[in-house]
Structure 1
């Protein structure tokens, strides 16, 4: 894949801890799976619908993959055979280029942070 900017959806508590410590080891699901789940831009809405339905206060974090060691990022098949970015290391805050609240568009998409 060639997407350089990918996204991590965080709960308010996860984001507060991330901002305070400067690193994210992962959500409980990430820790159980052994990697941090990320989504390319077009995948964010589906990830929200499948894993975060009905949750409020979510934060969308834009991650620049070029700021991470390429050895710890893998694009692997997941939902529907799509390739998703998976991070096999803690996420450092220095790789984050934008953040914003999760906001849906009128057509069901997601406003991605700039």
Structure 2
């Protein structure tokens, strides 16, 4: 699959998770029973579909291999395989967390996902 996967979440929620040492997920994650992630090729569409116009978000990069067997690749949107984490996430597992600002048209501006 892919080496790096991405989570979009409100900055305040991620900062709280860093303070607690545990990210259990956003309300949609808790309702679905797993933490939703996207690959680099999926995350822009994820932002547009589920976070349209929302500011104060972070894009969190995680090494997929570091998540072990709790990470499952499952069919989701459009039949594509998406990474789903069936465990809480230790925020220290994040490679980085970067702001996901909005442009003048309300679309999210992504950092270079190769970095």
The bucket for the TM-score relative to the shorter chain is: 0.7 to 0.9
TM-score with structure 2 length normalisation? 0.87
> Please, what is the CA RMSD of the aligned residues?
2.0
Q: State the partner residue of 2:92.
A: 94
What runs of 5+ residues in structure 1 fail to find an aligned partner?
none
Q: State the partner residue of 2:58.
A: 59
| Alignment coverage as a number of residue pairs | 111
State whether residues 60 and 112 of structure 1, in contact with CA within 8 Å, keep that contact through their aligned partners in structure 2: no
Alignment of 1:1-114 (within 5 A): 2-69=1-68, 71-103=69-101, 110-112=110-112, 114=115
What's the CA shift string for 1:64-96, capped at 9, x where partnerless?
112122x20101011111100000000112321
What's the CA shift string for 1:27-85, capped at 9, x where partnerless?
0000000000000011111000000001001000000112122x201010111111000
TM-score with structure 1 length normalisation? 0.88
Distance 1:9 1:51 in 2: 10
